Structure 1
Amino acid sequence: MKRLSEEPKVQFRNVRQLLGLATAMEETAAQRYQGLAARMVKLNEREIAGTFSTLVEEQRDHVEEIAGRSRQLTGAQPPTPADPRGLPSEIARSWDEAEASALLTPYRALGIAVDNEMLAFAYYSYVAAQSDDTAVRATAEWLAGKALDHAATLRDERRRAYRRQGAAGARGEMPMLDASSLPEFVRQSRQLESRAAACHRRIASRLAVLGEDAASKTIAEVAERERANGSEAANGTVEAGRAELAQAARPLPLLRAALAEAERLHQTYLNLADRTRDEQVLAAAQRAADRTLQSLAAIAARLQAFG
């Protein structure tokens, strides 16, 4: 279950205000998905662009659904919120991740959409629990239910995308965790962290040779975090294909490779959290995903600095 990292900043005085912010959330999502679709077209990633275009249409359907609810309850269209800071920051962060992503696939795109719906569910559930206004509470519960329904539909689409990508061998060499207990999660996680650390150390060393000291430091810090969570026995293990990065002559391919490695680790934990039924494994996978998100953000920021 996706959780909010901070309490919503807006206290809703009435139903119109709540529906106005809900409309803004859906319209903002449509705009971001549209931008990502356009970016994928430029990169000739037609299938991913098509996935995002479909999400744009679904968001527009959500906007119209909320508008209909507003007309039913208040006799008017929902207003434009005066304070956009009420939007959950976690959703904006997931879009920023997508825009910097080195591993975008239809499965990953749909994963972002699922996560956003679950964050919306958490947001509206919080509003419903905290509101003293009966109408606001009922409307927030309706919005939370809709977000949960949308997430279930998107999960079905994501499963189909996963099967298509798996059949085509197009999962980007994503490692799989199959931990049924916390000790098993710890063992497998340490191996994955160590492999990632070895890869990132190689990249950091090559960046240093190229004179990219700031970028080298960022990747070295990522490698150190991974090493601290890894297994000493597995340290130094890295696939031969990634070892070829030691000969790269430019910083951008190195940073993209570093980002892709961090994403593999991050997404592996998210995938396990999505599948496991063990509460201890779920909590550990979520903590690991939060930790690796720090690495993702640091590498993405360094990559964007290169323009």
Structure 2
Amino acid sequence: MPTTTLEPWLVKSMPELIALARAMEQDAVDGYRALAARMRAENRPDLAAVFDLLVAEEMGHLDNVDRWRSASGGESVGIPVLVPEASFDDEGAGVVAPELLSAYRAFSMAVRNEERAFVFWSYIAAHAPTPEIRVSAERMAKEELGHVATLRRERRLAFHAERQSSPRATKGDLPALESRLAEHLAQMAAAPEADSSERLHALATGARTRADRIIGIPFIGTPLLDNLPEPVSGQAISLSEFLLDCYLDLAEREKQEEPRLRAQAYAGELIASLPFLRAFPRA
């Protein structure tokens, strides 16, 4: 059984990995189902519909895990596992006044849950004791990356639906945005009060490296860059969020394997950086 400490989270066998994957998906199903029921009780059918959609999405993930379990012989049935504490977080949606919720906030919460799941499975893959567990954990991480892309699209639609008039927009390009992100991160690292300068410098180096590689081998392009909201370039966190959307979109648009894998890798790097940046003052 995995330990409850953050590091290391050990998965010692394939049946245990599948059981853990199923428990995490079931946790999300139960969480969104409870939120949908609460919204109906509070006479918010619009938000109940959003959470119903999230339940359906998670049920699809659960069905995939069940098919995987059946294909593996069903050995994971009945194996006790401890779900990571951060597996599903409703971020207060279960208690906050319904009038303070929105479809955009609901999808934002779902996005962050999927991002955490991606980071978790990436960690499991990196510390896997066998090649079989590593490959399977990487499979889960890739599936979570697809879930992130789906929910971020839904969040964008919710944002535009809730906001009748968009702010002024400009055209952007990936290398310039990555370079700007590197500058923001370097400035944050140089601040006197910065107590995580090493991590910030590493993230800045990653952004510069991505910019250089894109200049050398460009992607095909994403329409998201045709409509760059002006405030996006003002902060490291907003830049990272926007760049992540771009790479997720490119991962779906690219037809060749090499650029598709490169876009997925860049998306993974940004997802891994977001929890740190979200907790950083004035990011």
Residues 110-149 of structure 1 aligned to structure 2 (within 5 Å): 110-149=107-146
The residue identity in structure 2 corresponding to 1:290 is A
The residue identity in structure 2 corresponding to 1:139 is S
Change in Cα spacing, 1:8 to 1:155, as seen in structure 2 (3 Å) is farther
Tell me what 1:289 maps to.
278
Q: Quick one: percent identity of the two aligned structures?
A: 30
Corresponding position: 1:95 with 2:87:
no
RMSD: 3.5
**Is contact 1:67–1:78 with CA below 8 Å preserved after alignment?**
no
**Is contact 1:23–1:78 with CA below 8 Å preserved after alignment?**
no
Question: For the pair shown, which has the larger CA radius of gyration, 1 or 2?
Answer: 1
Shift of 1:41: 1.2
Tell me what 1:82 maps to.
80
1:76-122 superposed Cα distances (whole Å, 9 cap, x missing partner): 264244132xx222234x32432234532111111111111111111
Shift of 1:16: 1.1
Corresponding position: 1:42 with 2:38:
no
**Is contact 1:120–1:144 with CA below 8 Å preserved after alignment?**
yes
The residue identity in structure 2 corresponding to 1:106 is A
The residue identity in structure 1 corresponding to 2:7 is E
Shift of 1:133: 1.1
Change in Cα spacing, 1:158 to 1:81, as seen in structure 2 (3 Å) is farther
After TM superposition, the score normalised by the length of structure 1 is: 0.54
Change in Cα spacing, 1:8 to 1:29, as seen in structure 2 (3 Å) is farther
Secondary structure at the counterpart of residue 100 of structure 1: coil
Residues 4-23 of structure 1 aligned to structure 2 (within 5 Å): 6-9=6-9, 11-23=10-22
When the two structures are aligned, how many residues end up with a matched partner?
A: 192
**Is contact 1:122–1:144 with CA below 8 Å preserved after alignment?**
yes
**Is contact 1:33–1:52 with CA below 8 Å preserved after alignment?**
yes
| Structure 1: 5+ residue stretches without partners | 170-178, 187-267, 293-307
Q: 1:182 aligns with which of 168, 184, 188?
A: 184
Change in Cα spacing, 1:287 to 1:123, as seen in structure 2 (3 Å) is closer
Shift of 1:135: 1.2
Residues 263-278 of structure 1 aligned to structure 2 (within 5 Å): 273-275=240-242
Secondary structure at the counterpart of residue 91 of structure 1: coil
**Is contact 1:124–1:143 with CA below 8 Å preserved after alignment?**
yes
Change in Cα spacing, 1:27 to 1:8, as seen in structure 2 (3 Å) is farther
Tell me what 2:24 maps to.
25
Higher share in helix: 1
Change in Cα spacing, 1:276 to 1:59, as seen in structure 2 (3 Å) is closer
